[in-house]
Amino acid sequence: MSKPVLQRLRDVLDLEEKNEWTATAVAGGFRAFKEIWEADALKAGHEAAWVRQIIDRIQRYEAATREDRARIARQILGMLDRPQTFDSALRHVDQIDPAAPSRSVAVEDDLVPAVPPPGPTPRSRPARRPSPTHGDILNAPVESVAGIGPATAQVLARLGVDTVEDLIWHLPSRHDDYSEVRRIADLLPGEQLAIVANLWKVEQRKMGFNRVMVQGVFNDGTGTLRATWWSPYKARELVEGKTYRLMGKVDLHMGQKVLNNPHLEPLRSKAMEKGAILPIYPLTEGIKSSERLSRLIQKALNEAKSAILDPLPDETRRRFELDDLVTALEQIHCPESIEQLDAAKKRLAFDEFFYIQLGVQQRRHLLQQATAPSLVAPTGLVDSFAAALPFALTGAQRRVIEEIGHDLARTVPMSRLVQGDVGSGKTVVAAAAMLVAVANGAQSALLAPTQILAEQHHRGLSKILGVLTHADGRPLRVELLTGRVTGAAREAILAGLAGGEIDVIVGTTALIQEGVNFHNLAFVVVDEQHRFGVEQRAILRNKGADGESTPVPHMLVMSATPIPRSLALTVYGDLDVSIIDEMPPGRQPITTKRFLPQERERLYAFLKRQIAEGRQGYIIYPLVEESDKLDVGAAVDEHARLSRDIFTEERLGLLHGRLSGSEKDAVMRAFSNHELDVLVSTSVVEVGVDVPNATVMLIEDAERFGLAQLHQFRGRVGRGEHQSYCALISRAANETAVERLNALVETTDGFKLAEKDLQLRGPGDFLGTRQSGLPDLQMAQLGDTATLALAQQAAQSLFAEDPELTNHPLLRARVDRFWRGHGDVN
């Protein structure tokens, strides 16, 4: 009886995921649904405290942010996997020794006896409750941890911590190593270390309104130093004459050594004379100290570690010499040594990579069960295609076309990633594959992330394929379908797709909407795949199949910029990879240099000389309009200034995201037709502009852009026969920003820059984790290729033996939970 109740909630959350957590899955809203579901769940016999925990989360769901809704939904789904009814609870009661001492377990806000004391039980009291199961302990609200009341729980919720398990898995963002203990006499300013010293004196001084400075004078026999805290409560912890371990960074104040706000502990044992490695956690308003959060996490871990089950098979753990899960969690939160911390990090990073690889293996396995149409290229077709092009294909392009042709001829659906540097010629490779589909009487579709990029692809493919004909003399028909195509024009395209008259369709997400049906879609190209979720990519693929027995299309994914190897193994791990590692002949390397803002006049003069020689150029700004908060240039105001004061004889255009689609098109066409000399633009020019005559790229406030984005900007020039130049104008002194800009100056190799960008920014910023389908990584670093390779090896080995993970139910549940909300592994 209880299954429909639970399934109903699962269905609602599944729909929410498809709707991207918009809180629109329930007619009448979640408030009404909550009341009905609560009554039905209790009627079905589910334990009241368990139901209340779920209801509490449903209640918070509607008012939460989208990101928090996804997290709350995952918590609810985890609880639904471990339902608790009164019947199941009573089965545990018989196993409890009535003579055992009474213990209290936390249920929501109340403490209730797990086993009632001897004596008559009042009729109004419900049946005895069982000892909590593993799931109950971990899913208990965080208030069940000693020392956490409702106010602290509310603060922790802002960190995404609602349950005991959430608290245990709130991992440190870094660790400060104070394992080296030094004598005060040997301390040097700037060092981060520990000292063991005796407290000689405590002083308090009021500094302004409601601010108290507490100072302690410490001596270790070799010298003295002062430690300062800005909290009146610190004085209560300090006892003169007692020995302490202090950890912090050494500074100088008026020639004296000082520690500002150091971590302090009384010396309780000989072992504490050694230093410590302190975890540093993500914090929020209300919990301003990692020290306090660490104490709460330690309590939660000590109380619940018996309930933590290790999903990793013992054989895998032994084979790769990994810690057990509880040990890893203990050492990540309270490391005893650098070696044990490293072992804990390795274990937790391995798990995340392992779950990713198992999910990727499942995707690949499921795809290989499907059938695709065999698209065999007629003899000489590709050679004739290459001969008709106005340029020669590179060796790399020919190699990749051959790899794709091999895949298309098979009945297993192709899933291939083609990556190459900016301007390496990926589109012509896709066109060759589309021609093979046409020769087999099939249709092709190209999905682009933006209107501008879709229009560029449509123009490019029309030039390449639009001049070719079918065997019966009919010209190949290449059409464009975006949100701007409406009315009779849209209806004509939909009819042409359904009737099979259109051979190639290029479009945006308009291609995956209801009502777009194909006659025989056999080949799909997705450009800039990381801007599309896994689900969107699957929807277009399913457009080619109207039933389980219908073949699914082959799929080619094109990346706008090179992808680091580690990402190719994770986000794109279910794809085979082809690399175009050769640029078209005749391209000259782009000269890239950094400039200070005061050197602008020289750059403007250089751009004027280039324009006088018949060339064109870009000037890029990070903002559309000036901001009071950001001291950076803005395109609209600068366009007016440049037109008025600098480029008075030249023709300047303005391009930014606030223009309508038709206005953007008009500006871009004017620039492409050389009706403009300079295009002043925001980042919308990153993709979609292909003007071989443009030779100069000036990027203002270059530090405000990512490395991959800067490389894309640079790729807008150097597309013709003339020498091109890229100037990075920046006043940045920030170490990371300088490193980013220097990397761009030192190399034009997009593959090297991609690795550097990933190293500097991490996967979330590099791709946009939500869009990529890659689950959030807490401990794994995508630059850690050694651990990634081990996890891939382990996943392949286990998957070969047990593809459904039937023999590893705990691991299967963990993998499903890991991927849930980030893209279906199916």
pLDDT at 99: 35
Cα distance between residue 262 and residue 234, in whole Å: 11
* Whole-angstrom Cα Rg for the chain: 32
The full length of the chain comes to: 826
- Give the tokens for residue 32: 């009404």
- Check if the beta carbon of residue 77 is closer than 8 Å to that of residue 10: yes
Could you tell me which of 135, 133, 134, 129 has the C-alpha nearest to residue 116?
129
Strand partners, 554: 523
Asked whether residue 705 carries a pLDDT value surpassing 90, the answer given is: no
Asked whether 660 and 723 are in contact (CB, 8 A), the reply is no
**pLDDT for the residue 762:** 58
Tens digits of per-residue pLDDT, 603-652?
A: 999 999 999 999 999 999 988 655 544 444 588 889 999 999 999 999 99
The string of pLDDT tens digits covering residues 399-410 is 999 999 999 999
Rounded Cα distance between 798 and 315, Å, is 10
Report the half-sphere exposure of 40 (CA within 13 A, side-chain side). Answer: 15
Between 433 and 139, the higher pLDDT residue: 433
The pLDDT tens digits for 51-60 are 888 888 888 8
> 268: burial class by Cβ within 10 Å (0-12, 13-18, 19+)?
exposed
pLDDT per position as a tens digit, 769-782? 344 455 667 888 77
What mean pLDDT value characterizes the chain? 82
pLDDT > 50? residue 805: yes
- pLDDT of residue 124 exceeding 50, the answer is no
Which tens digits make up the pLDDT trace of 217-266?
Answer: 999 999 999 999 988 888 888 999 999 988 888 998 888 889 998 988 88
Q: Is 412 exposed, middle or buried (0-12, 13-18, 19+ CB in 10 A)?
A: middle
Classify 757 as helix, strand or coil: helix
Q: Are 252 and 187 in contact (CB under 8 A)?
A: no
More confident residue, 155 or 85: 155
8 Å CB contact between 722 and 590: no
Confidence of residue 751 (pLDDT cuts 50, 70, 90): confident
Cβ atoms of 680 and 640 within 8 Å: the answer is no
Task: Inform me whether the pLDDT recorded for 654 exceeds 90.
Answer: yes
Residue 310 neighbours by CB under 8 Å, 6+ apart: 317, 324, 325, 326, 810
Q: Which of 20-34, 495-509, 792-806 has the lowest mean pLDDT?
A: 20-34
Parallel, antiparallel or unpaired: strands 415-420 and 576-580: parallel
Query: Band of the pLDDT at 114, cuts 50, 70, 90?
Result: very low
Question: What is the reported pLDDT for 794?
Answer: 94
Look at residue 97 and tell me whether its pLDDT is greater than 70: no
Whole-angstrom distance, CA of residue 367 vs CA of residue 538: 11
pLDDT in tens, 345-388: 999 999 999 998 898 888 888 888 889 999 999 999 999 999 98
Q: Which residues contact 653 (CB under 8 A, 6 or more apart)?
A: 667, 670, 671, 676, 678, 679, 680
H-helix or E-strand containing 217?
Answer: strand 212-219
User: How would residue 68 be classed by pLDDT, with cut points 50, 70 and 90?
Assistant: confident
- Of residues 400 and 452, more confidence is placed in 400
Pairing label, strands 725-729, 694-699: parallel
Give 407's Cβ-side CA count (13 Å radius). Answer: 24
pLDDT computed for residue 686 by the predictor: 58
3-state helix, strand, coil in the chain (%, to 5): 45, 15, 40
d(CA 319, CA 324): 12
Which pLDDT score is estimated for 536?
53
Q: What is the pLDDT of residue 56?
A: 82
CA–CA dist 197, 247 (Å, integer): 11
Exposure class string for 728-737: b at 16+ Cβ within 10 A, else e:
bbbebeeeeb
User: Pick the residue with more confidence: 21 or 632?
Assistant: 21
Residue 590: per-residue pLDDT: 92
**For residue 687, what pLDDT is reported?**
61
Asked whether the predicted pLDDT for residue 106 surpasses 60, the reply is: no
Q: Is residue 568 pLDDT above 60, yes or no?
A: yes
Cα 33-37-43 angle, rounded to 5 deg: 155
Residues 680, 670: contact at Cβ < 8 Å? no
Q: CA–CA distance from 406 to each of 98, 401, 568, 569 (Å)? A: 71, 9, 21, 22
- Residue-level pLDDT at 763: 55
| pLDDT over 90 (residue 821) | no
Q: Are strands 443-447 and 504-507 parallel, antiparallel or unpaired?
A: parallel
Higher pLDDT, 461 or 134: 461
Query: What does the pLDDT read at residue 644?
Result: 95
pLDDT of residue 112: 29
Q: What is the pLDDT of residues 524-548, one digit of tens each?
A: 999 865 444 455 556 666 665 554 5
**pLDDT above 80 for 179:** no
